[in-house]
A and B are shown apart, each in its own frame.
Chain A
Amino acid sequence: MRRFFSWLPALLFLGLFFFYPLAKILAVGVGSSLFIAPESLQIGFRALRFTLYQAALSMLLTLLVGLPAAYLFARYGFRGKSLLRALTAVPFMLPTVVVAAGFNALLGPRGWVNLALMNFFELQSPPVTILHTLGAILLAHVFYNTTIVIRVVGNALVHLDPRLEHAARLLGATPARAFREVTLPLLRPSILAASLLVFLFDFTSFGVVLLLGGPTFATLEVEIYIQALHMLNMPVAALLSLIQLLCTLAFSVLYSRSVTRTVVQVAQRPAETVVRQAKRWRERLFVGSMVALLFALFILPMAALPLRSVSRLEAARGERAIVQTGLTGDYYRELFVNRRGSRFYVPPIRAAYNSLEYAAITVVLSLLLGFPVASALARPKRLDRLLDPLLMLPLGASAVTLGLGFIVAFNRPPLALLGSPWLVPLAHTMVALPFAIRSLQPALAAIPERYRQAAAMLGASPLRTWFAVDWPIVSRATLAAATFAFTVSLGEFGATSLLARPEYPTIPTAIYRFLSQPGGLNYGQAMAMATLLMFLTTAGIFLIEKLRLPGAGEF
C-alpha cells in the first residue's frame, strides 16, 4: 500500500496531463466528420509517407557515418580520442533550435560558408542553398544521431571477444572474411537496435525539420503543428497525432525487443585488449579521414554559431551604407532592448527570464513527482515493474502531440488553463519526468543495503547512517536529475511552440521567431540567443556527466 502512495502523485499527474489530453485529441477527432474525410486521410498519408522516407534516409546516412565511427572508437587509439568522443555526445542533448541555428550559421544564406564564397568570388547571391532543402534536414539528423550508433554499436564492438576474430583467422578466414562471417553477425543485433532508435528519433523529429526544412517538408510532426496552429484544423491534427502515436508505439516495441536480444550475445571483455594504434597506411588513412570528418561534422556547426553571434558581416535591415564588418557585441546588447516599444513585444531577454522560470518550476515538479517513484523502482516489486512502462510512455508520444493535447484539453472550463503560463512548465515536466526518474533510480538502487548494515554494525545511528551512506549518493543523483530536467525544459521546442503565448516567449520560441524574420539584426539576435542556450545546455550536460555514477548505463 505504501508503494502505491509513492506512485500516486506521478500517476495522477500522468493521468491529468498525458492520458486526458490524449483522450481529448481522440475525442476531437472521432467527434468530427473531418477525421476520416478523404482529404484528411490524404494529408495524413502524404505526411506519413514523407516522414518514413526522410527517417529511413536519415537513418541510412547516420549508419554510414556512425558505423565506421563506432569501429574507429572501439578499435583504434589516437590523440584527442576522449575529446572527440565527448564532442560526438554533445549534440544528442542540444536543443533542436540550437542545432538548427548552428547549421544556419554555417550553411545558411547568411552563414560562414556562403559569406566566404560570396566575398571570395564576388557573387551577388549565396551560392550554397542547402537550407530549406531535404539535405539540411538529413545533415542535422546525422549530426544528432551519429552518437547513438557510436555508443550502441561501439559498446558491442568493445565487448566483443577479439579472440572470436582471431579464431576465424586461424581457421583460414582472411581479415575481411572474418569480419563478415563473425564480427558482423555478432554485431547485427546492436546495429539493428541502434538503427531502430535512430529511426525513431528521426521519425519524431520536429524542430530541426521545421527550422531547417521549412513548411514545405511536412513530416507528421510539422503537419500537426501547421494544422493545429495555422489552419486551426483540430480534427486533422488529431488524426495525424493518432497516426504518429501508433507508429511510434510500433517502433518502440520493435526497439525494446531488439535490445533484449542484444544483451545475450555480447561477452564482457576488458576494452584494452582490442584498442590499437593505426600502423599500416590503409589504417592510417581510415583513422585520419574519420577523425577529420567527425571533427568537421561536430565542431563546425557548433563553432560557427558562437562566432557568428559576435560577427557583423553585412548590413542590418534599413542600413544602406557600407557597414563596418568585424567583431561586435551588438547582438547581445540588442537582446535587452524593446525595439518596437509595444506592450506585447517584450525585450528578447524577457524570453530568457521566462525560460529560467519555467525550467525552475520543471525541476521542482520533476523531483517532487519523480523521487517517490524512483525510490520505489530502486527496489522494485511486481507493482512497480507493472507501472514502470507507463511512466516511459510520454517519451514515445511526441512533444507536438503533447502540445496539441494540452490545447484541446485545457481550452475550456473546468480546466481553462490555456491562457496561463503554467501550461508550458507542466508540459516540460511531462517530457522531463522520465529522464529525472531514470537518473535517480540507478543511484538509489546502487545504495547497497550491506553498507547500511555495516554502518549500523559499526555503531552509527540511523540518522548518521543516512548522512554517511545515503546522502552522498542521493545528493549527486538529485543534482543530476535536476540538471536533466533543467536542460530539457530550457531547450524544449515541440510542445512550447504550440503552447507559449507571444507575450511569454521562451528562448527556443524566441530564436525561432528571430530566425523567421528578415534582416541582419534579427539574424544576429537569433545567433546570440542560440549561443547562450548552447552554452547553458552544454554546461548542464557536462554537469550530468560529472555526476553520473561510474558504471551506470547510458540510455
Chain B
Amino acid sequence: MSGERHKMLEVDGIYKTYEGAPLLRGVSFDVAAGETVCLLGPSGSGKSTLLRIIAGLEGSGSGQVRWDGADLASVPAHRRNFGLVFQDYALFPHLDVAENVAFGLKMQGLGRAEIDRRVAEALAQVNLKGFERRRVTDLSGGEQQRVALARALAPRPRLLMFDEPLGALDRTLRERLLDELRSILHASGVPAIYVTHDQEEAFALADRVMLLHEGRIVQSGAPAEVYARPVSAWVARFLGLGNIIEGKVAGAGRVETKVGVLKVACAHEHARGESVALLIRPGRRNVGDGENSLEGRVTDVVFRQNDFRVTLDNDLYFYLPDAPKVGERIVLQIPLTAVQCLSAKE
C-alpha cells in the first residue's frame, strides 16, 4: 500500500449484530480512486450487510464510513450518490427499460433532453440499444442484469457497488458479463466494491481481493498474492487451493503429519511440537519428482479436460497427467514449493 494512492472510501471499524449475534466485528478497509475491490466470503458472512451499511440503507452498531475524509453518518442514502447493483437486480417492474435507467437522472432534476441523452448513452454502454421501450419483466436474466448496471451507471455515481450481481446467471453468460463488466469499470474509472462468494469472479475482476470471515477481513491483497500466500488454513480451504492437513512441528523444516514427516520451507519460526496446518497443492504432479515422497492407494479417479483428479486413501487428491487404476498403490514426489505451512487456527 504505497502512500500515493488516494483513499476515496474509508470503512473504519464497523460492528454490527444480527439478531443478537455479532455479524461484523470491526471491519476496516478502504477503496482508492479507480480501484475495484472484491469482497469475498461465504454466504451469511455479512457481505451484503456491509454493502448496505456503506450505502446508508442500514445503520451500523459502531464504526465510521468516510468519503474523501468526510464522515457519512449524517448523509442519508439518497444523498450519497453511490450506485448499487442488487443480486436479482431489483428493477422497477412498473417502469420500462428507459424509465428504469432514467430514474436516478430524474431524481437529480435533469431536463428531459439531457435525461434522454444520458439514458441512450448508458444503454449503449451495456449493449442494450433499442431496448428503451421494453418491459423489464419480459427481459432475460442477462438483459435484466445489463439494465440494472445501466441504471446504476447513468447518474454517474462516485462509487459503484455490486451485490452478487451474477449469482443467478448460468456459467457462460456469467463469464461474458464479467468481461463486459471489467471493461466498463475500467473505462468509467469509478471505484467499485464487488461482493461475491465466487472466487473466480473475484479473481477475474478485482484489483484487490478481501476475504471476509467471522465478521473480520482476514486477508487483503492482489489476486495473485492472495492465491500464492493464503494467510490461514481457512483462506486456503475457502479458496479451494488444495489439501489441508494438520501436523506437529518435528524439527527445523520438518512437520509430522498423518501421511508421514514432510519437509517444509516455512517462513515463520516454529517451536518443536507446535501445531500447524499444511497446504499441499494438488498441482500437476508427475509420479516421482520432488523432495517429499507420498504413498497411497488410489480410491477414485475423475477425468478432467487436461488431466485426472486422483484421490488417495489418505484423503489427499492430486492432478495427474495419466490415470492410475483404482486400487493401485502409487508413490508421488511432492516438491518443497507445493507444501506451505499455515497458521493452524481458522
Contacts and interface: CB of A to CB of B under 8 A. Distances in A.
Contacts of A265: 93-94
Nearest to A279: B59
A182 B107 contact: no
Interface string B75-86: 011111111101
A172 B104 contact: yes
Contacts of A174: 76, 78
Interface residues of B, number: 27
B227 interface: no
Most chain B CB neighbours (cut-off 10 Å) among A163, A172, A178: A172
Given A163-B90, A164-B90, A185-B94, A170 B57 contact: yes
A64 to B, nearest CB: 24
Given A163-B86, A166-B57, A177-B107, A171 B93 contact: no
B226 interface: no
Given A170-B83, A172-B104, A177-B107, A161 B151 contact: no
Nearest to B108: A172
Contacts of B81: 172
B46 interface: no
B94 A170 contact: no
B103 interface: yes
A186 B92 CA distance: 9
A265 B52 CA distance: 25
Interface in A126-173: 161, 163-164, 166-173
Contact of A170 (B77, B93, B108, B137): B77
B55 interface: yes
A323 B81 CA distance: 75
Nearest to A177: B107
B78 A172 contact: yes
B155 interface: yes
Most chain A CB neighbours (cut-off 10 Å) among B90, B151, B152: B90
A172 B91 CA distance: 15
Interface in B192-239: none
Contacts of B84: 166-167, 170
Most chain A CB neighbours (cut-off 10 Å) among B56, B57, B76, B78: B78
A167 B52 CA distance: 11
Contacts of B103: 168, 171, 173, 181
B78 A169 contact: yes
Interface string A455-472: 000000000000000000
Given A172-B104, A173-B107, A167 B90 contact: yes
Nearest to A163: B90
Contacts of A178: 78
Contacts of A168: 92, 103
A167 B107 contact: no
A186 B93 contact: yes
Interface in A410-438: none
17 contacts: A164-B92, A166-B52, A166-B77, A167-B151, A169-B57, A169-B77, A170-B57, A170-B78, A170-B83, A170-B84, A171-B78, A171-B103, A171-B104, A172-B108, A175-B78, A177-B78, A181-B103
A-B pairs, 5 with minimum CB distance = A172-B107, A171-B104, A163-B90, A169-B77, A167-B90
